[in-house]
A = this chain, B = another copy of it.
Amino acid sequence: MRYVARNRPFIVRSGAAHWDALKKWNASHLKEVLKAHNVNVAITNEGNADSAVQTSDGRLIFVEPYEREEPFSQVLDKIADQELRGTEPRVRRYAQTQNDNLRGEYTPLFADVPADIPFARIALEQPTGPDAINFWLGNSYSTTVLHKDNYENIYVQVLGRKHFTLLPPVESACVNEQELPAARYGPRGVASRSDAEDVILDEQLRNLDVNMAEGDAKVPCPIWDPDAPTKRTSPFSDLAKPLKVTLEPGDMLYLPAMWYHKVAQSCSEEGICVAVNYWYDMDFSGSFWSLASFARTVGNLASTSS
């Protein structure tokens, strides 16, 4: 409760070590439980889903991944093979739907994790539990770029490791948030997702097209990367003090609402990285939301006018 009040992160090392997920989950168990299931998978060529991408004419655009349904066993095998043997390095898969998928497409795994995190339910005053519980399966070829969520987040590592780079909301002026035109990756010649996707081979996925969103849709997106700190800077990026933490299997991170985070992954010996996270509604009623939003707006205006 004190950490929530201060909007400060913490890690409970081995806080989830006793979960069934930590004892049971491995590549063969996951495939056994989910073999009959199709799951949504995000596909990119650079492991850069939901990120700022520079077009050939130098413009920055915000590109969402190509998404399609694939048999879970196949997704896991391809992710692991790429990690362990470097197969198809251009076709990067990341099962990362973030739509409460552990109570949806991954329901058969849900019994292996708690339906709620008691300390979070109490501290965050969310008696009805989390808004979403998400399952993540990827490898080191995919990275989640710097962004923030308007959710309180409990992040639990199960297999492999996650490497978080964190910035508090007061450093929003450092991340150089820009309104970027929205786009989505898609296989060449396939106009919509319903077009004969099953017959697209991985070879065809090696060079995805960027398809601009209809209309004039724009997405606010930090374009500064704490791992390339002298590029795409705002006037204030050099003031950032990124915090780096690594989650080992069984570790539990409280990532407070509106903290910027970039997430890279290392794999288990089986070539996969698996995590679960719980999103709880954040509190919009006190001083935090208004003050943090003000700091973000001012930072953006100051960056634009400099």
Contacts and interface: CB of A to CB of B under 8 A. Distances in A.
Among A168, A287, A292, max chain B CB count under 10 A is at A287
B170 A285 contact: no
A291 B170 CA distance: 6
Interface in A1-40: 1-2, 4-8
Interface of A: 1-2, 4-8, 125, 168-170, 283, 285-288, 290-292, 294-295, 298
Given A291-B291, A291-B292, A294-B295, A7 B286 contact: yes
B288 A287 contact: yes
Among A170, A283, A291, max chain B CB count under 10 A is at A291
A152 to B, nearest CB: 13
Nearest to A299: B294
Number of copies: 2
Contact of A288 (B125, B283, B291, B298): B291
A80 B227 CA distance: 69
A287 B169 contact: yes
Given A1-B1, A288-B288, 17 more contacts: A2-B125, A4-B5, A5-B5, A6-B286, A6-B288, A7-B286, A7-B287, A8-B285, A8-B287, A168-B287, A169-B287, A169-B291, A170-B287, A287-B288, A287-B291, A288-B291, A295-B295
Among all A-B residue pairs, the 6 with the closest Cβ atoms = A6-B286, A5-B5, A291-B291, A7-B287, A170-B290, A298-B298
Contacts of A168: 287
Contacts of A7: 286-287
A159 B168 CA distance: 46
Nearest to A292: B291
Nearest to A283: B6
Contacts of A2: 125
B286 A295 contact: no
